Amino acid sequence: MPFYDELYKFQDKLQHVLTRHEQGATHAAQGYARVSGRVGVCVATSGPGATNLVTGIADAMIDSTPMVCITGQVPSHLLGSDAFQETDIIGISTPVTKWNYQVTDVAEIPEIMAKAFYIARSGRPGPVLVDITKDAQFASFDFEYTPCNGVRSYKPIPKVNTASIDAAAALIATAKKPLIVWGQGIILGKAEAEFKRFVEKSNIPAAWTILGVSAIATDHPKNVGMVGMHGNYGPNKLTNECDVLIAIGMRFDDRVTGDLASYAKQAKVIHLEIDPAEINKNVTADVAVLGDVKETLPLLAEKVSPKPYTDWFAEFKKHEAIEYEKVIKNDLHPTKEGLTMGEVLKEINRASNDDAVIVSDVGQHQMIACRYARFSNSKSNVTSGGLGTMGFALPAAIGAKMGAPEREVVAIIGDGGFQMTIQELGTIFQTQAAVKVVVLNNDFLGMVRQWQQLFFDKRYASTEMVNPDFVKIAEGYFIDAKRVTKREDLSSAVDEMVASDKPYFLEVCVEKEDNVFPMIPSGASVSDIRLS
């Protein structure tokens, strides 16, 4: 209450967005942070308000999103007394925050807030929670603000060891079939230009993780596609054929590597990384290049010379042709009656000139969105990667629109995830954030259903959804809404949506039992990627 009473005085200077649920606030803060590169902020009251933040904080932690959460707390003299709406949010949030702190004295506030933002954004970014007791909020003191430039015990960026650069360059010089796999570290390190220069100078094929995509444009000639469980055929297969694997700002997540025991065993691994704890965590690095990629990539680029790698690039082309024939063609240019998720993405690409911010939720539509969305600019793919948080996309899209108001923001959501944070339609209505919301409705928790089909003999246990009329719900919030069930209506509906300068809701009823391929079955090797 005292916090908000003060905010009231700053309405013209500070835009406050009232989400309908605290989880929505965290994802909105994440969406804002991911498109803007700035720290997202969310505020919640004590007790249930604070506990409702936890999912978003955990999501921000695993996806390294800079965020500061401010929570209210009972007066300090009541701490530990089971007071009304008291919860140990410091204890609860400890494993999912980069740092957290409980303020009990008003005089600490300037220093702690400066420190919170510094920690959230520096080094490998992450969420920070500051819990402020009510008495500290009510008290007053002589305000003096000093920015935070460092914390004694915290080394955000490791010092670059030039010997590691030399070793990496020497290894690259011996390579006949090198492969770059880049992750979000490029974007978080604001090193897109440095990365592009390195890729172009070295002429090495480069593949991306779903959090790394958009660091260079989709149509960049060296971009060979997505790695991981539903990634492209070529980069996955060829991970087990490359001789030098150059991992840049990525953490070898299990959804990327599949079975570690059979992941790139033939390759020498170079790992460029800001977080020392990531080195040798999942994949052993032959050469670890610690440091900020913005600093290390130019040093490495200077020491590499391009080779044509003609046969090697041809391998990617060959695999791409196979994938196109078996998967992509049917996804993007289907001949069967039912609509595919892929063709919806194709229409969105067309209508937005390959330059929308795509915010996806979790599941089949997410994999389709990451596979087929085309990007021209960085910070354009916002998705819940590590935590796989259904319900992420709707609120994240609101934050994304506020972080990049000049850009087209399209949320791609499944019918399952949509209903997990559907109340944020109210936030869209109230703020009039011109978010375009596309629900790809297959009346199933589609990804789970796909696994049930492939690995559990089609026993669809609790995955079929009996859904409400989504268009009516959107209209109930006074949001322009349309439903598409036929192919001939899709293109014009997407055009209408993109042309709108207001919030817009589009439901596309897609084929109920489509599957996402390629697929590396859980626990299998990247070599065992299936096309059907």
Closest to another protein by CB, 280 or 430: 280
Q: Count residues near another protein (CB under 8 A).
A: 22
- Assign 520 to helix, strand or coil: coil
Among 71, 102, 349, 381, binds another protein (CB under 8 A): 102
Buried b (16+ CB within 10 A) or exposed e, 491-509: eebbeebbeeeebbbbbbb
CB 308 within 8 A of CB 203: yes
Q: Which stretch binds another protein (CB under 8 A): 52-60, 148-156, 394-402, 507-515?
A: 148-156
CA 447 to chain centre: 18
Residue type, 506: L
Q: Cα(441)–Cα(139) distance, rounded to whole angstroms? A: 51
Q: Which stretch binds another protein (CB under 8 A): 96-104, 249-257, 327-335, 517-525?
A: 96-104
Regarding 140 and contact with another protein (CB under 8 A), the answer is: no
Residue 279: CB minimum distance to another protein, A: 8
Q: Which stretch binds another protein (CB under 8 A): 60-68, 147-155, 162-170, 338-346?
A: 147-155
Q: Which stretch binds another protein (CB under 8 A): 260-268, 271-279, 409-417, 474-482?
A: 271-279
Residue 155: CB minimum distance to another protein, A: 8
Regarding 276 and contact with another protein (CB under 8 A), the answer is: yes
Residue 319: CB minimum distance to another protein, A: 34
Cα–Cα distance list, 41 to 84, 126, 130 (Å): 25, 12, 11
Helices (H), ranges, 404-515: 415-418, 425-431, 446-455, 470-476, 487-499
Residue 249: CB minimum distance to another protein, A: 16
Closest to another protein by CB, 235 or 249: 249
Among 15, 149, 310, 532, binds another protein (CB under 8 A): 149
Regarding 90 and contact with another protein (CB under 8 A), the answer is: yes
Residue 161: CB minimum distance to another protein, A: 17
DSSP code for 478: T
Regarding 79 and contact with another protein (CB under 8 A), the answer is: no
Residue 115: CB minimum distance to another protein, A: 9
CA 506 to chain centre: 22
Helices (H), ranges, 175-239: 185-188, 192-202, 233-239
DSSP code for 264: S
Regarding 144 and contact with another protein (CB under 8 A), the answer is: no
Tokens of 92: 């609860």
Residue 80: CB minimum distance to another protein, A: 13
Regarding 254 and contact with another protein (CB under 8 A), the answer is: no
Among 85, 280, 305, 492, binds another protein (CB under 8 A): 280
DSSP β-ladder status, 287-290 and 244-248: unpaired
Among 152, 461, 462, 523, binds another protein (CB under 8 A): 152
Query: Which residues 164-183 are close enough to bind another protein by CB under 8 A?
Result: none
Among 11, 15, 140, 153, binds another protein (CB under 8 A): 153
**Torsion angle in degrees (nearest 10) through CA of 183, 188, 194, 197:** 30
Closest to another protein by CB, 158 or 235: 158
Among 24, 54, 62, 99, binds another protein (CB under 8 A): 99
Q: How many CB atoms lie within 10 A of CB 467?
A: 18
Residue 387: CB minimum distance to another protein, A: 15
Buried b (16+ CB within 10 A) or exposed e, 382-409: bbbbbbbbbbbbbbbbbbbbbbbeebbb
Closest to another protein by CB, 150 or 221: 150
Regarding 275 and contact with another protein (CB under 8 A), the answer is: yes
Regarding 271 and contact with another protein (CB under 8 A), the answer is: no
Closest to another protein by CB, 185 or 395: 185
Regarding 277 and contact with another protein (CB under 8 A), the answer is: yes
Q: x/- site string to another protein, residues 107 to 136, per CB under 8 A? A: ------------x-----------------
CB 113 within 8 A of CB 130: yes
Helices (H), ranges, 270-378: 293-303, 310-323, 329-332, 341-351, 364-372
Q: Cα(225)–Cα(209) distance, rounded to whole angstroms? A: 9
Q: What share of the chain is helix, strand, coil (3-state, %, to 5)?
A: 40, 15, 40
Closest to another protein by CB, 79 or 465: 79
Show the CA angle centred on residue 325, arms to residues 319 and 328, nearest 5°: 90
Q: x/- site string to another protein, residues 357 to 386, per CB under 8 A? A: ------------------------------
Regarding 94 and contact with another protein (CB under 8 A), the answer is: yes
Regarding 80 and contact with another protein (CB under 8 A), the answer is: no
Regarding 95 and contact with another protein (CB under 8 A), the answer is: yes
CA-closest candidate to residue 65, choices 13, 23, 26, 18: 26
Regarding 151 and contact with another protein (CB under 8 A), the answer is: yes
Residue 133: CB minimum distance to another protein, A: 13
DSSP β-ladder status, 480-484 and 268-273: unpaired
Tokens of 28: 């909105």
Regarding 65 and contact with another protein (CB under 8 A), the answer is: no
Query: Which residues are known to be catalytic?
Result: 22, 84-85, 134, 447
Phi-psi region of 311 (alpha: psi -120 to 50; beta: other; left: phi over 0): alpha
Q: Cα(482)–Cα(508) distance, rounded to whole angstroms? A: 9
Residue 273: CB minimum distance to another protein, A: 12
Q: Cα(389)–Cα(326) distance, rounded to whole angstroms? A: 30
Regarding 281 and contact with another protein (CB under 8 A), the answer is: yes
Name the site residues for another protein (rule: CB under 8 A): 90-91, 94-95, 98-100, 102, 119, 149-155, 275-277, 279-281
